[in-house]
Structure 1
Amino acid sequence: MANLGLLIIRLVVGITFIGHGCQKLFGWFGGAGVSNTGEWLESIGIKPGGKIWAVLAGSFELVGGILFAAGEFTSLGAILIIIIMIDAIVTVHGRNGYWLTNNGFEYNMVLIAVTAGVALVGPGDYVLIYRP
């Protein structure tokens, strides 16, 4: 059952980050795309090069999500996700305190804990490439 539990966690978290990456990079799923995400990043003080940071953030989310969901190089995927979540805390949510009701970093911290936990215990047996 532990392997099934790890698979569920990896798929939900990984696919969520794949979606967020696609929002930033391609404007899919109601996302802003690179230009608008870059403008928003600059508006919150991440200058210069908001578009460059948008591409980096979107790429970390997309690649991290793919690796995490697939169970391949899970630790690297987790690290990419954790970097993005720490960045979100530092640049946006940290000043609002912990609780999500105040736009705080509660959700970011949960995602850091979940991805770090899976990276520490491993992806389980249900991975993209089976290794007996």
Structure 2
Amino acid sequence: MKNVVKQLLKTNPNIGFGIARWTLGLVLFPHGAQKLLGLFGGYGYSATMESLTTQMGLPGIVAFSVIMLEFFGSMSLVLGFFSRFWALSLVGMFTGIIITTQLEHGFFMNWFGNQAGEGYEYSLLIIGLALSVVVNGSGPWSIDGFILKR
């Protein structure tokens, strides 16, 4: 068990991997804060759960997971705490988003409001950053790195 945790926390010391982790966490945090706390113009937990389950038809556990992953996952990524786990979870979530809601709208985001929905370019960027974290770990200046040193 100790070796599994050690492998999970193992990190590449290159600063670029820390930048990828911070960018991913900082970009996702406002989205999670909108969904859970109603910050940044969001609707908060209850309204988001209602929207995800009734309008989008997601099962309750999936809707709950989306909210928790975006909020707590983004904070954990910024701190570098179990980053590989959170990043891999984001890869799964955003792959699901692409398949279920964005693929039919093409590649480009809906910048001018002339599409029926959003394309998948943003989601691909999130997946790319997340895969970088999955492969390389938290990078320097992370809780994972601190735990590993002890």
Say if 2:129 is the partner of 1:114. Answer: yes
Which amino acid in 1 is paired with 2:26? Answer: I
Q: Any gaps of 5 or more consecutive residues in structure 2?
A: 1-12
Structure showing greater Rg: 2
Say if 2:92 is the partner of 1:80. Answer: no
Paired residues for 1:17-96 under 5 Å: 17-41=28-52, 42-46=54-58, 49=60, 53-96=62-105
Structure-1-length-normalised TM-score: 0.80
Runs of at least 4 residues of structure 1 off by over 6 A? none
- What do you get for the CA RMSD once the two structures are aligned? 2.2
Confirm or deny: 8 A CA contact 2:18 2:138 kept in the other structure.
yes
Separation (CA, whole Å) in 1 of partners of 2:34 and 2:63: 10
- Shift, 1:53, TM fit: 4.1
Which amino acid in 2 is paired with 1:45? Answer: G
Which amino acid in 2 is paired with 1:119? Answer: V
Which amino acid in 2 is paired with 1:59? Answer: M
Give the % identical residues.
Answer: 30
Structure-2-length-normalised TM-score: 0.72
Which residue is equivalent to 2:108? 99
Which protein has greater RCO, CA pairs closer than 8 Å, 6+ apart?
2
Separation (CA, whole Å) in 2 of partners of 1:63 and 1:97: 30
Q: Any gaps of 5 or more consecutive residues in structure 1?
A: none
Aligned residues: 128
Which amino acid in 2 is paired with 1:73? Answer: F
